Structure 1
Amino acid sequence: MSRTRVRYEKEAHVARVTMDRPDVLNAMDRRMHAELAEVWDDVEADDDIRAVVLTGAGTRAFSVGQDLKERARLDGTGVEASTFGSRGQPGHPRLTDRFTLSKPVLARVCGYALGGGFELVLACDIVIASEDAVFGLPEVRLGLIPGAGGVFRLPRLIPQKVAMGYLLTGRRMDAATALRHGLVNEVVPPDELDRCVAGWTDGLVRAAPLSVRAIKEAALRSLDLPLEEAFTASYEWEDRRRRSADAVEGVRAFTERRDPVWTGRCR
């Protein structure tokens, strides 16, 4: 598929995924979802990629979510509206319900991150926001629901009463408030956004790639497990890391006082 809605670039172990419809504030239509699915498939398959930056084109918005003009046209032709998750929809599984993606994804947010755009942010592992970023789930005002995970993730990430206030009213949240609630890692002036993102991706790339994947899998899969069960559960990427050359290389490099050379391969 030729990409008309998404830009996908790779450099120095970092993939950059840009939702590229700035004229409509990077609203996501069915074509964009299909293109993004291809990108996420490639991200997972390419062992040279160690980190992903997800962002929106332009300076006005990360993404304002679902393309409502397209939704209105689909409603007019009798296409059934979706509910929770992306089953049966173009681009399934989307990032918001692609629970086995092992690479860390960093959201670079400036401007509006609303509806499905905010839900994408909530699905990322690290979030760096510009001071002008605005977050919100306005679905309740449109007769919709935050079905791409917002209704599930927000109450898990911030206090329940706070989350319900945003979910049930559709009110917006500024970047400072998002930082206070722990929804973003850093908030910086717009002209420092790229420098800050680069600092985080540099840290991700320097880390052992199999360790990163093992930690992400274990941390996310164990969230709902009792602590004792978390220790005894089986984690695919930890099994791979434990048997990898990198598990030996890191310790050897430390004792030899040199930088490690990661391969990301099992022995």
Structure 2
Amino acid sequence: MSDIEFSIEGHVAHVRLNRPKALNAINAGMDQALLEAWQEINRNPDIWVAILSAEGERAFCVGADVSGGAERPSRMALGGGLTGVGGPMVTLKKPLVVAVQGYVLGGGFELAMCADVIVAATTTQFGLPETKVGIMGEAGIMHRAIRQLPHRVALAMILTGDRMGAKDALGYGLVNEVVEQEALLETAARWAEKIVSASPLAVQAAKDAVLGRLDWPLDVALATRFEPIEAYAYSEDRIEGRKAFAEKRKPEWRGR
């Protein structure tokens, strides 16, 4: 069995961390495999959404594997660059649903925060232990946390290393849903199917527009012309959407 499992079912790509004995800590080989997975997801037009999950109940991911000490690649971009830690950042064009459980720490927490939808098991514990152990790296996790959590909540986690449970994460809007461990993958699949039921081109254009102007003033975002949205206006899916609405039937998207 590979430490990174990749498969495609219908229009859904499944990426699974499979190193439970090491709490799914990501080593250089896994990092490269994840990069290849993200590239395939971006490249393959038949993939409309991706689900990232992990084997084992103890942890989703505790970050980069530092057991090799100095032998660990010094510029490893965790997640093949999806997070941008230590290297160039890969922008995932397709929606990403992440299912987390147990320990979600350090770089593993950051990997989860790259998601568009997060489903958490009741056992989940989010944490930023960097300051406690004196490993700061490029501190990408901290930049994401301060943007995705209330200011003082994020700073408290960063400065103390205290963990946050699933219930609090839901209350702060960090996750979309909290379920029992046995329902985790089923729930993630349900979210993916909800996304797949929409036009893939419209979904991708919307993600590009929203995230592309997230940190810009509202007037700039409103005045921006987004090429994917303009291109969608002339797509087959746009025509199909109108026909399906007029004919009162479910649209049959083709992604073109």
TM-score where L is the length of structure 2:
0.93
Question: Which residue in the other structure is 2:171 paired with?
Answer: 180
| Letter in structure 2 aligned against 1:230 | A
What's the CA shift for 1:236? 3.2
8 A Cα contact 2:26 2:78, kept in partner: no
Question: Which residue in the other structure is 1:85 paired with?
Answer: none
SS of match in other structure, 2:215: coil
Question: Which residue in the other structure is 1:130 paired with?
Answer: 121
> What residue ranges of structure 2 are gaps of 5+ in the alignment?
none
Question: Which residue in the other structure is 1:203 paired with?
Answer: 194
What is the distance in 2 between the residues matched to 1:36 and 1:9?
12
Equivalences for residues 1-267 of structure 1 within 5 A: 4-70=2-68, 72-74=69-71, 81-82=74-75, 89=76, 94-97=81-84, 98=89, 100-145=91-136, 147=138, 149-265=140-256
Post-superposition, which runs of at least 4 consecutive aligned residues in structure 1 deviate over 4 A?
90-93
What's the CA shift for 1:73? 3.8
State the superposition RMSD in angstroms: 1.8
Of residues 101-110 and 195-204 in structure 1, the stretch that sits farther from structure 2 once superposed is: 195-204
Relative to structure 1, the CA distance from residue 113 to residue 194 in structure 2 (aligned partners, 3 Å threshold; closer, same or farther) is same
SS of match in other structure, 1:69: coil
Relative to structure 1, the CA distance from residue 225 to residue 210 in structure 2 (aligned partners, 3 Å threshold; closer, same or farther) is same
| Letter in structure 2 aligned against 1:24 | A
Residue identity over aligned pairs, in percent, reads: 40
Relative to structure 1, the CA distance from residue 256 to residue 191 in structure 2 (aligned partners, 3 Å threshold; closer, same or farther) is same
Deviations 1:119-156 (A, max 9, x none): 00111110000000111011111211263631111111
What's the CA shift for 1:237? 2.1
The alignment of Structure 1 onto Structure 2 pairs a total of residues equal to 252
What is the distance in 2 between the residues matched to 1:110 and 1:16?
17
Relative to structure 1, the CA distance from residue 221 to residue 67 in structure 2 (aligned partners, 3 Å threshold; closer, same or farther) is same
| Letter in structure 2 aligned against 1:50 | W
Relative to structure 1, the CA distance from residue 65 to residue 92 in structure 2 (aligned partners, 3 Å threshold; closer, same or farther) is closer
SS of match in other structure, 1:127: strand
TM-score where L is the length of structure 1:
0.89
SS of match in other structure, 2:46: coil
